[in-house]
Amino acid sequence: MPQSSFILTEESASGSDTLVIVFLNLYYYQPDKRNAYVAKAGFAEAHRIFIYDSSINMLQLGLSPGYPGVASVLGYIREQIARLKPKRIVTSGSSAGGHASLLFGHLLKADVSVAFAPYTNLRPEAFEARGKASSYIGRHIQRLIDGSPLLVPEYLDLRPLLEYYNGKTKFLVHVGRGCLQDVTRARHLQGLPGVRVYEHRFNYHVIDGYLTECGHLRACHSDSYRLPPAPRIWLDRVRFWVNFRLGRLRRMRQTA
C-alpha cells in the first residue's frame, strides 16, 4: 500500500482532445496497473489524471498533503482542464472511487461519468445493519461530520445531488447482479436524469475486474453500451475465469 495519497496528471503525447479522470482503488494505484486500466478502457492516447486516496475518507476530506477538501481537488482538476482544453471529459472509478467518479463528474459537467459497484450514499445511516466493516465506515463518516470543517455533507448522498441534473453528464453505473449490496446502492440512483444502471450477471463486488477480463471495459465507458445477450454472458464467464487463472499463474512464476 502506498505511503500517501496522490494526484497525478499525465499529458498525452499525441495531442488528444479527451481527458480521463480515474479515481483509483487499492488494486490500480501502481503505475503499470493504472496504465493498463486506461489502455483497456480505450484511453491510452488520452490526457489522464489519476487520483488516489489511501485513507478511508473516500476523498471527502480531499487529499493529504496539499489538497484539503473536495474544493481543493476540484480546483486542481479545473486548472488542468483550462490548460489542456479537452473537448471531452470522462470520469471513472470503482467502489469508493465510483462515488468520487459520479460526484466529480457531476460537479465538472463531464461528458460521461462511469462507476463500477459504487458507494452512492456515504451518510452513516446508510451503513447500518450491513456488517461489522460497514458499521466501522459509518462510524468513521459520522466522526468526520462531527469534527471536520472540510467535509461537505451535501456530497455524501448522491441522489439529492444528482436530482439537480447538470444538463450534460451521462452517468453509467455497472454492478454485479449477484452482489445485493452493490445492486441496492446502484438502485438508489435509478430513475434520476442521465443515470443508467447496468446489472451484469456477476456475483462479486469487483465488477470492473470482471469486465476487464471479458474485454468489455472499453464498451462500458460508452453511453451507447448495451448488456450482452445471455449466450454471450456464458462465454464471458469462461473467458473471465481462464484469464483470472492464467494471471494468477503468471504472478506466481514472477515471484518464484
Write down all domains in the chain, each with its CATH number in brackets. Answer: 6-174 (3.40.50.1820)
- 10-26 confidence digits (pLDDT tens): 999 888 999 999 999 87
pTM over 0.75? The answer is yes
Chain-wide mean pLDDT for the chain? 87
Say whether pLDDT at 70 is over 80: yes
Higher pLDDT, 100 or 135: 100
Say whether pLDDT at 195 is over 90: yes
Say whether pLDDT at 238 is over 80: no
Q: What is the pLDDT of residue 83?
A: 96
- Residue holding cell 495531442? 15
- 111-129 confidence digits (pLDDT tens): 999 999 999 999 988 887 5
pLDDT tier for residue 69 given thresholds of 50, 70 and 90 = very high
Say what percent of the chain tops pLDDT 70. 86
Residues contacting 193, CB < 8 A, separation 6+: 162, 163, 165
Q: What is the pLDDT of residue 231?
A: 44
Rounded average pLDDT over 194-216: 88
Q: What is the pLDDT of residue 217?
A: 93
Query: What are the backbone angles phi and psi of residue 216, rounded to the nearest 5°?
Result: -105, 0
Q: What is the pLDDT of residue 158?
A: 98
- 1-12 confidence digits (pLDDT tens): 455 899 999 999
- 138-166 confidence digits (pLDDT tens): 888 899 889 889 999 999 999 999 999 99
